[in-house]
Structures are given as structure tokens and as C-alpha cells.
Chain A
Amino acid sequence: MTNRQRMNIVIVGHVDHGKSTVIGRLLADTGTLPQGKLEFVREMCRKNAKPFEYAFLLDALKDEQAQGITIDTARCFFKTRKRDYIIIDAPGHIEFLKNMITGAARAEAALLVIDAQEGIQENSKRHGHLVSMLGIKQVTVLVNKMDLVAYDKNVFGSRQSAYTDFLKQLNVVPVSFIPISAREGENITVLSGRMKWYKGHTLLEQLDEFEPEKILADKPFRFPVQDVYKFTQNNDDRRIIAGTVAAGSIKPGEEVVFLPSRKRAVIKTVEAFNEPPKLSAHAGDATGFTMATQVYVRPGELVVAATDPAPQVGSRFKANIFWMGRAPLIKNKVYKLKLAATRTTVRLVEITQTIDSSDLSIQEKKNQLDRHDVAECVLETAKPIVFDTAHDCETTGRFVIIDNYEIAGGGIILEASSVEGSILEEHIRQRENIWEKGLITSFRRSTKNGHQAKFIIFSGAVGVGKRAIAKKLEEELFAHYSNVYYLGIANIDRGLDADITGSRDNLEERIRRLGELARIMTDAGLIFITTIDNADDYDLEALKLLNEPNEIVVINVGENELSHFQVDLALPASVDPSRAVEQVIKMLKSKEVILEYYL
């Protein structure tokens, strides 16, 4: 009794095909309703002078009763002798498709309700499509309102064959079709005496036949880093990498790789509270690890076992997307992407194929995705991200797209897509093509100035003394060459970037603006100096690209957390600024940024 299974079942269908009645009936006929609830609803109906319906049991909200349609996903708890169920009632109305998706995405099995009399409606098809995309493997179709077609075997047969054909195109093979009348209680908990021709399961039996979701313990280990904790209270010195295991398992002593940073470490402990230390962590566990050696990683990285097949690392992929946003999904607009624990920005590169979800026909090539469209698209993230195909690992193979604070779309990754030139590279190429030049060439400028134009970046963690060195460098160079400028990075936060909110998500846009600014400053012949906290490889690569055709010089101060970007000079943390500047000048001379004889 203490170890009872629980299963989430979603119930979907076209408006008025009777989902809520099915659930109401199920609850009433199995005696699951709280004492007095049935009487309470009957009483409410009597007071309001309307006929009692089983659907009212669920429609607990006032405006929902007024409209007569389920507007949101509601959960009902229900149990059989075998296990406990959460029945998720998803709305059928097209306007509430996002609610239907919310319900369906939590389910291990789906009940699709169709009306025997009305047959397969647009939403019946759309729902079939979404159930397929959401990855629900077990589907039972309930052909409801059999009482309205005189319990006719042939009507049931024709609905069954038409819907089977449709679902086949979506690779959905229903577990079963059940003819029911929810209003009359036929084939819900006991086999119907009015449909003796039907020999299959009742709805109740079918529920118990569904199989629980398989635990993905034998798959490659995947652990999205949700957060990194270092709580110091009570002298706690653990640095814990926290998250939920998406697939596979791991043990202390095993080597793991963090991606995309490519840092390696060995698992030291599996942490827990109020229980003894654990010997392993498995798919589904919300857990945390300490590492044998300190690694500095950010939330959003993916931990994989060093010996397991590696996931994809790239910035372009092909995906099936369904769009729910009020505004269409368009090209040349920056969206936010959330994939497992990763958050980044993403753009639409191309729509390869749009599918009309009501008849599955492939539509003419579109330039944008409108609300309720389903399409195969190519997307590009600002920085390379780590992912699997949805087929290989669901958690790391599907994502949502945020537009204007709302989850506006969801998608499953089909395959990595090769990059022939990133959107950024394409932008630079176009920009440079039409860059209007004055009459003074950069050669004339640098000859007159006595130095090259350069974008000098001091990178490193917060509080290592970057700014003091950068300012000192400006002063030192200024003594000999006038064309040098130090930009306090906070000045653009409050000026050029004042319209950008939410620092973490919009780092890419800040980087872009800084890079474009550097392009102009270096075009003016300046030695342009600034500092950036915690820049990663991709930030620096983007700045390098944005500043082209001019060049950048990167000086790292303190611990170097970059994995592959080559810095031009590495200085220790808290180094004396004057000593540091001597080294920087020496490096600049060796690169002939400034010429020896001027100093």
C-alpha cells in the first residue's frame, strides 16, 4: 500500500465531445468523489435551475460553468485497486491549445475523445498531432455518445478506421478504441449491455492496462546543471553541482565532462539531506554532486559521463516546432530558448516545411510561423549549446521558445544542422560590404598616430583588479600617443544598454553592442580599452568577429576559465597595476601594435 504506483493520464478532445462528462462519470462510478460532492453539485444545479451533468463535477470554477467549456487544465485524483491516477482534463477549444499542451506534456498516456455522431473534427486531428509530437506513446480513443447513434456497431467501426488511418500518418498507433456513452455510463466501469458486440476493455480496465513510463537508467548519463550551490552557513564548505538526472546513472569515482566548457572532473560525493550519503544517482533523481577537484562551471552546462557517447555541441539544429505565440515566429528576431537547464538566445534561420495539422498536408513554404502552426525549422543559437536528438534523450532533445516573457513555442530536435556560416558571420559580411569609408585610409591613420588601432579587452573574474590595470594602461599610452580611450563598462549599462533588462539573458545583446561600438572606435584609429567580467570563449569569439576587420587583444587577469580561446597575455590576480602595464606594453610592442622607438 505504501508503494503504490501513480500515473498521469491526459484526456483531450474537441469541444463538446464530452471529456468532462467522461471524467465526472469515472469519478462518480468508482466512488472516488468526496462525500457529499455529488449531492452538492446536484443541489447547485437545482438552485440554478439547470439539468445536472456529470461535467459539472469538474467545472469547479464559476466562469467556466458560464461558458460551458473547460478553459484550463484541471487535475483530478482518482484511484483503482491497481494504482493512483491523476487525470488531467485538457480543454478542447482551439483558443486554449496551450492549456491542452500543458496537460498533455505531463502525461504518460492519453485518452482522445471523439463524438460518435459528429465524427473526427479539426481538433481531433490537431490533438492527435500534438500528442504525437509531445512524445506520448500510449493512446486510447474513446468514441463517445454512442447513445446518440443507437449504439450502432457500424458507426463505431467507421470512426475507428478513419481515425486509425489519420493517426498512422503521425506514427501513432492507438492501444485501443472503446465505444462509450459517458452520460449513460456505458463501458466506463462495466461492459455495456447495450453494445454486446464490443468485447474489449472498459475504460477502467484500459487505464490499468497502460504501462508506466520507463526509467531511463540504461541510457547515457545526462545531467543538466540547474545550479551551483555554495552555502557558507554553519561552516558548510561544500560546492554542490545541483540538478535532476535526465538519463542514465553515475557513481562517485567516475569521470565526467562538463559541456560545452569541456571541463573534466571526478565525482566525489552524491549529496543528500536527512539520509546517508548515496552510492549512486539515477535518472529522475533531484540530486547534487561534489567534485574531487574544484571546477568552475555555470548553470546550464550539461554533465556527461566521460565514457558515454557524447551529445551534440553546436549552434544550429533542425527541429519540429509548434507555435502558440500571439505574434508569429519570424526571422531576424531574437528569442530566448530554454533547453533543459540551458538558457540562450535563438533565431529562426529557415522554415523547411509547414504542416497543416488538420489534414497533415504539407503547405507551401512559409516565411513565418503563425499561431497553432506546426513546422520543421532550422534554428541557430547565439552560442553553441549541448543537445541530443529528441529520439536519443527527451530531456536534452526538446526546448521551448520565449517571446515577450511568454512560452510561445515548443520543439523537438530532429538533428544537428551544419553551419555554413553563422548568422553573425553573415551579418559581418553584409555590414562590411556596405561600410561607408571616409577619405582617410586606416594605413594613413595608423602611420600618423604611430600605432595600430586595437580593441584591448581585460577579461577575468570579478574583483581581480582588471579596471585598475586598464586605467593605468590608458594613462601610460596616453603619455605617448593621444589616441587611446578607456571605457568603463558600467557606463554602457546605464547608457547604450539602458533598454536591456535582465542581465543574464541578454548578455549576447550587450556583447553585440559592445562589439559594434568597438568596430567604430577602432575604425577611428583608437586603442580602445575595456574590461569584461567572466567572459567566456563564445563572448570573446563574438567580440573578435564583431570588431573585424580590426583586431582584438585579450588579456586575462586571475584564473583563466577559458577552455579554448587563446589569450594574448595572462596576468595573476591582484597584480600591481604598474608592473602589469609594463608587461602589457612589452606584449603590444612584440605585436607591433605600438612601435618601439616611440616609447
Chain B
Amino acid sequence: MSDHLSKLEAQSVYILREAYREFKNLCMLWSIGKDSTVLLWLARKAFFGHVPIPLVHIDTHYKIPEMIKYRDRLALEWNLNMVYGENREALEHKLTFPDGKVDRIACCRNLKSEALKHTLSGGWPRYRMDHQQKKYVLDTNKEPYTGVIVGVRADEEGSRSKERYFSPRDINNEWDVGDQPPEFWNQFKTDFAPGTHVRVHPLLDWTELNIWEYIERENIPVVSLYFDQGKGKRYRSLGCYPCTKPVDSTANTVKEIIAELRRGKFANIAERSGRDQDKEDGGGLETLRRDGYM
């Protein structure tokens, strides 16, 4: 128990179990990226090979196709209770940045924040993986999720560094940064007034480097987009293809990525530097996060 990865793992497992114990309508967001995939792996650790929590993915339909393939493969292999939601109306009316009708921030709000809000509340249709038919069917469960586990890390950007492990959101999904509950001695806010809900952040203390070190230690399968496929480019952070650029790198193994982060070219470059919506939001992402962006 002395090495740092085991310590981080133990704390995350504790938080996951605490959330599972305290919240009846719990779900976990899976963006298909490396962080939430590590989170999914930690759930398997916490629950001894099982994942007794539904996984929710918000499909913007601008995700890189490999991501969706990888999602469905693992959902079937690991027997996951896989659910996705989307903003069908915005997509039908082409209220997106790639369609040229709105800016990046509004596009994020439409395809992610809004879709997420209404998928969590059960107001919009949810689609659930049917393991017999091996395809998605309309989910009959419309109950709102009142606990949402999210794989954000404090080192990602400013506003995330102020999150709690258990962070309340009010009825309108809003985050009151100035008045957060105290959290100490591993006792978190697990009591909530009706109508409010909670975001749970088991990865808060992890860094990008820790994530890759853990992927290496546990041999966790991650989507191939993180590795250079011979063109000298790879993704460091995954999002929608119109707004996420690959970085120049020839790393094609987890080991090489770790070396790059430790001493190499990325040691002092912010991970989300390839994400254009951050820059439009004054560098803080805060406008989006107050509205429920993850």
C-alpha cells in the first residue's frame, strides 16, 4: 500500500462504494476517453468484477467512429448496463458548430450539456444495450438519476480543481462554487434534499500521468486513437472530431506515452490544449461547467 497508484486506487474505490451505498438512482458517465475508462475499471475493482451501476454516454454524433465501436465492444464483453442519450432536436435542426449555425460553446451546450441534463432527468429518450439482441433498444426506465459519477480530474483546468469528491448540484443542475459542503476525514455529503442531485468525482486527485501509469499497471484496454498509427499523430484528449485535434507524437504504446508525459515534449503542456471550446470560454470552462458540462 505504499506506492502512489495503490493509494489513489484505494481512495477511488472507497468513493465509488460510498456512492453505491448511498444513492439509489446512480449512474456513471462514460465518455469513452481514458479517464472515464479508468473509472469504469475502478468500478470493476470496487465491486469485484461487476459493474452494478448503469453507464451513460452522451452521443453527439460527432464522436470519432472508433470510439463508438470500442464502447459497444466493451459493453458486450464486460456485460455493462450501457445507456446512451442524445439531443435529437438539435441534431435534426442542425444547431451545431460543424453545420455552421452556432459557435463552439453553443454547440457544446446543445449536444453535451442539454443532452446530458435531459438524459439524466429521464425527460428525453434513453437507449439501452440489449445483451441478447446485441443492439440498443429504447429504455423503459425513465427515472431520473440522482447520483452521477464523473471522471473529472483536478489537474485538468481551473474550475475542476475546486470540485469536491461529492459535489451537489441544485434543481437546475447548477453548481454553487462559493457554497460547497465541507468534506473531511473521508466523510462526504451523502444527504440530499429532494430535487437536488450529486456529482461524484472519484478521480479528483489523479493526474494525467497517473491515469496512464494505471492503464499500464492494470493493462486496461483503451481506444486506439490515443496511439500513433504511423502518421506521427495521436489524440491526447478525445472529444468531437470537429473540435479536437491530434497532437504530433509518435508514441504508439502506453509506455511511450508515459515517457512523453514524464520527461518528454508534453511534460509542461496542458492536456486540453487541443480542445478549442476551452479557449473560447475565457480559459476556465466555467461558463459551461456551471451549466452542467462535465
Contact = CB atoms under 8 A, between A and B. Distances in A.
Given A286-B9, A501-B194, A71 B48 contact: no
B17 interface: yes
B101 interface: no
Contacts of A84: 4
B20 A227 contact: yes
Interface stretch (B84-92, B234-242, B244-252, B279-287): B279-287
20 contacts: A1-B262, A33-B268, A34-B268, A37-B270, A60-B162, A61-B162, A63-B178, A72-B177, A75-B155, A76-B161, A77-B155, A77-B207, A101-B182, A104-B184, A105-B183, A106-B184, A226-B17, A244-B14, A407-B184, A410-B184
B191 interface: yes
A62 B283 CA distance: 10
Contact of B187 (A73, A231, A272, A407): A407
Contact of B1 (A5, A60, A285): A285
Contact of B158 (A61, A106, A242, A243): A61
A72 B204 CA distance: 15
Contact of A75 (B21, B205, B283): B205
A6 interface: yes
B182 A99 contact: yes
Interface string B156-181: 01110110100000000000011011
B62 interface: no
B79 interface: yes
Nearest to A341: B21
Contacts of A299: 21
Interface in A66-115: 71-77, 84, 86, 98-99, 101-102, 104-106
Contact of A273 (B18, B44, B79, B192): B44
A236 B49 contact: yes
Nearest to A502: B191
A371 to B, nearest CB: 12
A35 interface: yes
B266 to A, nearest CB: 9
Contacts of A284: 1, 7, 10
Interface stretch (A11-19, A345-353, A397-405, A417-425): A397-405
Interface in B72-86: 79
Contact of B185 (A2, A5, A400, A402): A400
Contacts of B183: 102, 105, 407
Interface in A30-71: 31, 33-37, 40, 44, 60-63, 71
Contacts of A395: 185-186
Nearest to A212: B2
A62 B213 CA distance: 33
A105 B182 CA distance: 10
B202 to A, nearest CB: 11
Contact of B182 (A62, A240, A336, A407): A407
A501 B181 CA distance: 21
B42 to A, nearest CB: 10
Given A227-B21, A229-B48, A410-B184, A61 B4 contact: no
Contacts of A229: 47-48, 50
Interface string B1-42: 111100101110110011011000000000000000000000
Interface in A228-245: 229, 231, 233-234, 236, 238, 240, 242-244
Contacts of A31: 268
Contacts of B14: 226, 244, 286
Contacts of A175: none
Given A31-B268, A231-B48, A236-B50, A134 B184 contact: yes
B239 to A, nearest CB: 19
Given A226-B17, A400-B185, A407-B181, 17 more contacts: A37-B270, A60-B161, A62-B286, A76-B161, A84-B4, A101-B184, A105-B185, A215-B2, A226-B18, A229-B47, A234-B79, A244-B14, A286-B9, A286-B11, A286-B17, A395-B186, A410-B185
B123 interface: no
Interface residues of B, number: 60
A35 B45 contact: no
A61 B7 contact: no
Interface in A376-412: 394-395, 398-400, 402, 405-407, 410
A412 to B, nearest CB: 9
How extensive is the interface on chain A, given as a class? 35 or more
A274 B45 contact: yes
B269 A286 contact: no
B106 interface: no
A4 interface: yes
A35 B268 contact: yes
B264 interface: no
Contacts of A243: 17
A240 B187 CA distance: 22
Contacts of B189: 405-407
Contacts of A4: 4
Interface centre among B2, B18, B191, B194 (most CB of A within 10 A): B191
B48 to A, nearest CB: 5
Contact of A405 (B52, B192, B213): B192
A9 interface: no
A229 B269 CA distance: 42
- Sorted nearest first, the 5 A-B pairs with minimum C-beta distance are A60-B158, A105-B184, A98-B182, A286-B13, A286-B10
A144 to B, nearest CB: 22
A450 to B, nearest CB: 48
Contacts of B218: 274
A59 to B, nearest CB: 8
A231 B50 contact: yes
Contacts of A274: 44-45, 218
B21 A40 contact: no
Contact of B269 (A1, A34, A226): A34
A61 B213 contact: no
Nearest to B45: A273
B10 A285 contact: yes
A31 B158 CA distance: 18
A336 B204 CA distance: 27
